[in-house]
Structure 1
């Protein structure tokens, strides 16, 4: 996605394996930047399956069966409940082992080591409550369906606490806007030099997902159907506009499956998606332009 923005101060940095840009009317103070850095590092240490020292790695390796639940646990896993129900089990936070089996593992070997296998029934394995997150057996949590959106929302809150005026937080495909509206291009999944349309976001968030962004072999990419453990085939890219980045991120995943459009309608969100044959679909009420 590309955004046409007003001139301001832009802070760029790399975090959680991708590039970020935060645009504000005036330069962020060192205190604000430090607050963002602490939040991002903390989230990574808790939820990253690519770090040996993360909480989810400790649970996956059986080093512990329970951990003190991170602050984002309730918000994210409750939303996974809604995604699971809407997609009839296609979206599941225990797809980490299925991704690793296909080569998208902690070491990024990108070499499959077996056939696709379904993810476990996550509510039979994973429990949380009273400040504790527990696994009945080792399994790898992967909150990629909505985790980056959640972090974008948290970063936005920190930035807004330290500055007045317009703010844009862009986490490479997950973008939140407050203040002046922002016109955003919808990048063609097969040609990053082209856009399939544009949309203006006002005091909301736009998140995108594409099977071409994290792909490493013939038909291998990061969007899996948890019921089979295999990559999806019908859709190439999705875009969702919602009130928060976490919800937009969640919908950008759910829209690869039956039930995603209905969930978006229930949340009052709008969307666009492109099939792998190039056909484009969009929701009623979508206020952008499709070329």
Structure 2
């Protein structure tokens, strides 16, 4: 209750008590966030005892950078559950996180230019100028959608993309920013020739089942990645058997010595995109001082195991 004869206060007193300007109180009143209780005989705004708490709440919500429409929804929530406020705060947290992510990428990009030799600056500026901050993975996804077989099912495609497309680091180093920019340049460069460097298996007969192949390859790459983390040399075993079985099933045939010999030759003749996987490893960064396996390094490990096995059988 305000110490006046009618228990109300004027706009100046309300502004002073809340620690804001009269202009601010008028702004919120004009937008319906802070309704006036009455008008004086001279036409001046008068506010009731609840106005101060409401004004302080508005000020707090605005201090969290909530826009006026969201503040209105919070104030208008009738059941007092706080759901509107929780949603608004969650939205602001996402936006702040996005801004911080962009600032981290900008900082790392600036350090990348600052720390490089003068003769490298023009190229690095060109590279980092082609990606947003934080960058989008859409160009990488488009690259793989064009490279993979057209008849890939949604689940198999999503599983492969999850392995093949590295998420931008939340707090990147300058080296990771450079690697991601180079990765972006790699996938957006003009393609030479036809087929986008696709494996022969992608252009095989209509009996080929791509979802079967990539489901199996995902499992095989996971097994090979474990071997790579343990530092083990390529060798026959569960990972290689899973790898061969994926190709055999996709061709509608069985695993055999003849099939393994045929597969060895086909895989050895496939075009390679080693540079892509090298850059992916740089974007991911090392863990415990060692490079993290990628589908590319897992594939190479499995191919080396298959080649070694075929050579031993031929000897």
Q: What is the TM-score normalised by the length of structure 2?
A: 0.25
Specify which structure has the bigger relative contact order, considering alpha-carbon pairs within 8 angstroms and separated by 6 or more residues: 1
Task: State the TM-score, normalized to the length of structure 1.
Answer: 0.27
Q: Higher helix fraction: Structure 1 or Structure 2?
A: 2
- Structure (1 or 2) with the greater strand fraction: 1
